[in-house]
Structure 1
Amino acid sequence: MLFAPLRERNYRLWAAADLVSTGGTWMQVLGLNWLILSTTGSAATMGIVVMLQSLPVLVLGGWGGALADRLPARPVLIASQALRAALALALLAHPRPQLIFAVALASGVIAAFEGPVLGRFGAALVPREALGSALALGSVLSSAGRIGGMALGGVLVGLTGPGVLFGINGLSYLVVIGALAAVRTADLRAMPLAAPGDGGVRAGVRYVLSQPVVLIVLALSFVLGALGRNYQVTMAAMVAGPLHGSPGSYGLLSTVFAVGAVAGGLLLAGTGRSTLRMLLASGFMISVLQFCSALAPNVLGFAALILPIAAGAVVFDTVVSTRVQLDTREDMRGRVLATLGIVSSLSGIVGAPAIGWLADTLGARGALLLAGAATTAAALGGAYALARAKGRTLRLPVPRRTAEQAA
């Protein structure tokens, strides 16, 4: 199951291009962060950039999903990649704060329409039964691209400045456009488009609201995303606070987290078991481990827990994405994926400030304890709700006593 998606030529083309593009994206992120801090000295300005990238997804995501269900994916993706290349090259020419804000906002608008289209296109690259493995491999490539992009970008930004990183990112989008042009359309799995009278935002909202299993999965994704995904905040708070670590300690934890993310993606791709049970098990596991991480005595103990947390988080997020696609109509997929994107953006916008406030109020350990308890309760509640929605009864495994034990 691990390499099943790679048997498809179209998927191999897309995976290679996506790896290059992801690396370029993270190089640009690093370059932007360096540029903002070096010119303004303000971390708040970085927060504004992140907000400008997230807000369009919340406002326009529904319309993006509706269009994704009505338009052919490949031409839309070629256009979006060309626009992203132009934005990267604009940063190369005029890297001023006002332009950075404008590029961040424009990138968010593109993402609002591009995200659902990417989901539909990715599903068309592989057979339906290989979708779970394809998404898991995509997570591995995303993590690998992030590691490679940040590592190479960290070297180049000191030697050449951030402009070269923007130029490399712009060129990476041309690689994606080339891959899209080389895709064999005859080998793509047919994805039905929405009927003219059934392609609106309201139709998508009505459909999502009529799917209890999808609603429960989305609710779990929001709670665990808001209270259990902001590891950059909690890792920094723990290192600077009770663990008494150094900047090198934070770098170690970030590396361990990246390794765990890759391991989780490989594990899921190998098993191909993107089931609701896997979703609940991974959600419960990372919630309990998050609670336990608050009690870590030192940086190495914290790192030992971060590794399985990162692996479980990738498994959970990938299964969420797989289930909301497999458990919904294909002509509604764009709108369902748009809803997932909105939920993910909301969890980040709500969760990061909430975790930061908890860390300031209760301390880093207190924030992890409270958030871990809340997400553990949410995972158990989600299991009960899914059992009810599926018409099943939750049964805990009870070991049977043997005759010897009974005697």
Structure 2
Amino acid sequence: MATGATFAALRHRNYRIWALAGFVSVIGTWMQVLGVNWYVLKETGSATSMGFAVLLQAAPTLLLSVWGGVLADRLPARPLLITSQVAHAALAAGLGAVALTGFGGLPLIFAISLATGAVSAIEGPVMGRWASTLVDRETLGNALALGSLSNSAGRILGMSLGAVVVAAVGPALLFGINAASFAAVVVALFAVRPGAVAGVAVTAAGATRSGVRAGFAYLRGQPVLLLALALSFVLGSLGRNYQVTMAAMSDGPLNAGASGYGVLSTVFAVGTVVGALVAARRRSLGYGTLVVAGLLASGLQIVAGLAPGTVSFAAVILPIAAAAVVIDTTVGTRAQLDTDAAMRGRVLAALAVTGSVSAAVGAPLLGWLAEYAGPRQTLVLAGTAATIATVAAAVALDRQHARTATLALVTPRPRHPVRRVAFRAARIVRPAGAVCVIAPAGPGEIRLGAVRLPELATAGSVARR
């Protein structure tokens, strides 16, 4: 694919504005993450307390994301997002005040961290749905991939700059920078022109299908999407928590120490950038891409467990990180494109909850295994389990496609006399190995089409023609 196609989403004015503002905000966010971790560690000397602050920011996603999805489906996005940005700025300013004055101390830091997580949980589905309206359907996958690229690059830049700032003047300035960064997002929200692009449809129809229960009911009727979410959960819990396994390998078999862990973390971050570029260059991100990336990441995880040294381990985790971004981008793209517009916010909320639960379950599980079975054995076991899960998901997805094709074959006999004659004629003249599809094209009209059997497994839309 041409280089221009790699950045195809940037041809849309609205997306360019939003991407720039998002990049600024991501830099500020990761500065704040580093600042909170540094402040808590300095005050307590405890890595456990630092982890608790991180947990407080992630925990609200499990409880509040579904309600954020309902709001995303029911209410206009712009006012909600402006409100959330102002709230984020105020909370960041509060962290800065605590760091400067010491007022409230750690309890207030923890309380603000929890509030920040709550705002982010509600904001996430709204922002995801809003962003999908800034590009057309053809470039949505590219836009999501570029978003991953922006997040990865912003994380690297934010953590690097943050480390310099916190060493020079302390964490308070980091919080102030983050508070100011949300102004860029608010400006972008006002600068975007609604309706400038025929993007992924947004409808108010969700207001007639009430609440969280309707979202769960809808998901139960989407077996392919459920399979994708389940695979994403397994791959995320067993293969994504590399902050645990990299630390265990560095401190254990690799004997790389803290410096080696820093190098591996940098390599992993570079891998996420590579993965975002790979995803952006693909014309389409389908379930086949998800399976291939899952098999690649899982197989390489087994290889990582057998890597003899730090250099070889780093060489393996780079493509693992790239595959992880491709997996996330593919699942996010399918969640946007393959769902009812009235339910899209709730589906995005389910995706966010899946990611949070996989992290909450996977990190302690892998840590326990690394402690009692060994880091190498943990990587091999987790990689093997993830490979088996990916193969099982591939088989299940193939069966779902086959079932769709079978349903398309069972064409009911038309009741209208004219349509019944056309139905019989089509059965006689259609090519061998083809299926005739008859669908009303309007009052008194009939539309005929022939689809060869091998195409049904990939079309998936025969019944809608």
TM value normalised by structure 1: 0.95
Number of matched pairs: 393
Secondary structure (helix, strand or coil) at the match of 2:74 reads coil
Take 1:349 and 1:124, find their aligned partners in 2: how far apart are those partners? 31
Tell whether 2:205 aligns with 1:191.
no
The alpha carbon displacement at 1:219 in A equals 0.3
Query: What whole-Å deviation, never above 9, does each CA across 1:99-135 have from its counterpart, x for those lacking one?
Result: 1111111112112210100110110000011100000
Conserved in 2, the CA contact under 8 Å of 1:228 and 1:375? yes
Q: Percent identity?
A: 56
Query: What whole-Å deviation, never above 9, does each CA across 1:283-317 have from its counterpart, x for those lacking one?
Result: 11000000110000000000010111011111011
Q: CA RMSD in A?
A: 1.2
The alpha carbon displacement at 1:210 in A equals 0.5
Pick the aligned partner of 1:308 from 302, 319, 334.
319
Take 1:199 and 1:129, find their aligned partners in 2: how far apart are those partners? 30
Alignment match, 1:354:
365
Secondary structure (helix, strand or coil) at the match of 2:219 reads helix
Alignment match, 1:115:
124
Larger RCO: 1 or 2 (CA < 8 Å, sep 6+): 1
- Deviating beyond 3 angstroms after TM superposition, the runs of 4 or more aligned structure 1 residues are none
Aligned positions of 1:375-390 closer than 5 A: 375-390=386-401
The alpha carbon displacement at 1:20 in A equals 0.6
Amino acid at match of 1:314: V
TM value normalised by structure 2: 0.83
- For structure 2, the 5+ residue unaligned runs are 100-104, 406-465
Conserved in 1, the CA contact under 8 Å of 2:272 and 2:321? yes
Take 2:75 and 2:283, find their aligned partners in 1: how far apart are those partners? 30
Take 1:359 and 1:301, find their aligned partners in 2: how far apart are those partners? 20
Q: Please, which moves more after superposition, 48-57 or 294-303?
A: 48-57
Tell whether 2:164 aligns with 1:155.
yes
Alignment match, 1:403:
none
Aligned positions of 1:72-151 closer than 5 A: 72-95=76-99, 96-151=105-160
Take 1:161 and 1:201, find their aligned partners in 2: how far apart are those partners? 43
The alpha carbon displacement at 1:16 in A equals 0.4
Take 1:112 and 1:33, find their aligned partners in 2: how far apart are those partners? 20
Query: What whole-Å deviation, never above 9, does each CA across 1:248-302 have from its counterpart, x for those lacking one?
Result: 2111111111111111101110123211100100011000000110000000000
Query: What whole-Å deviation, never above 9, does each CA across 1:311-355 have from its counterpart, x for those lacking one?
Result: 111101110111111111111100000011111110011110000
Alignment match, 1:49:
53
Alignment match, 1:218:
229
Tell whether 2:40 aligns with 1:36.
yes
Alignment match, 2:263:
252
Amino acid at match of 1:285: L
- For structure 1, the 5+ residue unaligned runs are 394-407
Pick the aligned partner of 1:21 from 25, 35, 42.
25
Secondary structure (helix, strand or coil) at the match of 2:195 reads helix
Query: What whole-Å deviation, never above 9, does each CA across 1:229-258 have from its counterpart, x for those lacking one?
Result: 001111010011001113221111111111
Pick the aligned partner of 1:268 from 279, 290, 298.
279
Query: What whole-Å deviation, never above 9, does each CA across 1:167-205 have from its counterpart, x for those lacking one?
Result: 000000011111111111231535112343303111110
Take 1:278 and 1:159, find their aligned partners in 2: how far apart are those partners? 45
Take 1:195 and 1:211, find their aligned partners in 2: how far apart are those partners? 17
Take 1:359 and 1:241, find their aligned partners in 2: how far apart are those partners? 10
Conserved in 2, the CA contact under 8 Å of 1:69 and 1:199? no
Conserved in 2, the CA contact under 8 Å of 1:70 and 1:199? no
Conserved in 1, the CA contact under 8 Å of 2:73 and 2:207? no
Conserved in 1, the CA contact under 8 Å of 2:298 and 2:384? yes
Computing the radius of gyration from Cα coordinates, the structure with the larger value is 2
The alpha carbon displacement at 1:163 in A equals 0.3
Secondary structure (helix, strand or coil) at the match of 1:94 reads helix
Take 2:351 and 2:205, find their aligned partners in 1: how far apart are those partners? 19
